[in-house]
Amino acid sequence: MYQKRRLVRLLACSGLALSLSAAIDVALADGGAHWTYEGAEGPEHWGELDPHYIACRDGHSQTPIDIHDAEQANLPPIEFHYVVGGDDEINNGHSVQVNYRPGSAIRIDGHDYQLKQFHFHAPSENHVDGHEYPMEAHLVHADKDGHLVVIAVMFEQGTHNHALATAWQDMPEAPHSHHELLSKASAEALLPANRNYYRFDGSLTTPPCTEGVVWLVMKQPVTASKEQIAHFTQVMGHPNNRPIQPLNGRVVQQ
């Protein structure tokens, strides 16, 4: 059972849309075809690598996007019910991910979504009015039926970020390695003071690029120091952002 739990955690960054039992089955079957962020296994070819990745090529509501011309919709506040609970940090070869203990959730549209993990991309995957940020965090939530909500937080280069310092206190530098965090990380500390957001329907940004994901992108960026951003990019060894995808008629609300 412990081995299965570890396999599900390693799969979580790209497979949270799967049920728990399906995630275990995929993990035990090597989790699908190998993919990368460049070359013959890069984003332009994800949809060709595995039949399970077909949405990466043929999907019509893919993420990331360039957020522009958002429509006014008087979006309701997101209700955050977070506790400090990031306890296990994984370098899965595609990102650095902090898995979260049960007990933290958001409420939106009268529905609860549990926080499962957060991870990072550099440079940012989503853009705002054509602007690319040096880094972006994704806070991944799921309800009991596997429906996903991802909160995105943009990072600008600036002052030292204490929440990142805690989350990255002992960043695993080798792919497919993990560390138990000595001090639990806080997802709430990663959020900006102003919680206004953009909303759109999208997908996972990594294979299998599953659609039906609700994206909530914080309007206000936070800061990270030049050294913190450089540390993450050095550990990754390459940019880990998927290129911008077409809107295909989708509406972004604010």
Active centre residues (catalytic): 94
Environment class of residue 2 by beta-carbon count within 10 Å: exposed (0-12), middle (13-18) or buried (19+)?
A: exposed
In angstroms, the CA 97 to CA 85 distance is: 13
H or E element, residue 155: strand 148-157
> What is the residue type of 196?
N
Do the Cβ atoms of 184 and 167 come closer than 8 Å?
no
- H/E segment holding residue 166: helix 162-167
* Helix 20-28 / helix 2-15 crossing angle, nearest 10 deg: 100
Task: Identify the CA nearest to 83 among candidates 194, 184, 216.
Answer: 184
